[in-house]
Amino acid sequence: MPLKDDRYTYRVTWSEDDNEYVGLCAEFPSLSWLASTPEAALKGIRKVVENVVKDMRENGEAVPEPIASRRYSGKFMVRVPPEVHRNLAIKAAEAGVSLNRLASSKLSQ
């Protein structure tokens, strides 16, 4: 039976090393699935995740919450060297924006 309400974050990309498509799941970074087509790679990784989640539940292990279901405050702290902080403050002042606005803009690119 397929994983009910599968809301995990999947990605399919080409693997030069394997000469195949690889299916990945952000919530389970140690898992992958190789296939000759992107569609097969996605189907494969979803099946692997389904089996792992089933096994985790059967063994009473905590199952990762899908990223899409998590709530984010929009706040996080980043530590940078003092000279980087100073340079960013100067750039923000020259642009007439707050340091927060400048950092947010750079992070969203």
In this prediction, residue 43 carries a pLDDT of 97
Which one-letter amino acid corresponds to residue 49? V
Q: How many domains does the chain have?
A: 2
C-alpha 26/C-alpha 91 separation (Å) is: 34
In a domain, 4, yes or no: no
CB-CB neighbours of 14 under 10 Å: 11
In a domain, 77, yes or no: yes
Domain extent for 63 = 10-68
Same domain? 81 vs 57: no
Q: Model pTM?
A: 0.74
Same domain? 96 vs 62: no
Tokens of 20: 């195949």
The mean predicted confidence, pLDDT, of the chain is 94
Same domain? 79 vs 40: no
Q: Is the pLDDT of residue 72 over 70?
A: yes
C-alpha 62/C-alpha 53 separation (Å) is: 9
